[in-house]
Amino acid sequence: MTFETTDIKDVLIVRPKTFPDSRGYFRELTRTNVLAENGITEAFVQTNNSFSTKGVIRGMHYQLKNAQSKLVCATYGEIYDVIIDIRKESPTFGKWIGVNLSAERGELLYVPKGFAHGFQVLSDFASVVYQCSDYFTPGDEYGINCFSKALGIDWKDIPNVISDKDKLLPDFSTVSSEYFL
């Protein structure tokens, strides 16, 4: 595995080694000791999977009391994965980055606690798996509108499908600081 830093401290792109042959390929996605040697020390306690069609945007979601670090990968298709730094004391508070993740290339995005997370499906279909360092807790759900003018996220230019719930999320500029980590 190789680990690539990003413009936001503590956020990493993990590139597992792929072993192709005539049958397909083998890829070791995670290995606790190698992750720990590269700063990813959380125990992941919950694994989620979503399947979506082209243009679907899921996000930008986070929890406060049970904040989660995530390790995200596309297991089918390709997505544009976006995270927003919501750590009040961070020098990159309010900054976002977007990374293309594809099943073919196999990269993973490590998202530490303190980030809102979402993605846009670029391929006809995509299956996304993300491991979480804490359990999802109903009632501890928060979010930021993915089209927040204050953030100006550069979503890919394809027709978008967004849930009614996500359409109602507030603009980043209107969220009270008590709703950030």
d(CA 151, CA 172): 7
Q: Which helix (H) or strand (E) holds 24?
A: strand 24-27
- Catalytic residue selected from 61, 80, 110, 117: 61
Beta strands in 54-173 (DSSP E): 56-62, 70-76, 78-85, 96-102, 108-111, 115-121, 125-132, 142-143, 161-162
Distances (CA, A) of 112 to 10, 12, 133: 7, 9, 9
Dihedral (CA of 77, 43, 118, 80) sign? negative
The yes-or-no answer on residue 61 being catalytic is yes
Residue 82 amino acid letter: V
Tell me the sheet residues that pair with 46.
Answer: 132
In this structure, the chain runs to a length of: 181
The yes-or-no answer on residue 117 being catalytic is no
Nearest to 145 by CA among 157, 155, 130: 155
d(CA 81, CA 58): 10
- Catalytic residue selected from 62, 80, 110, 130: 130
Catalytic residue numbers read 61, 130
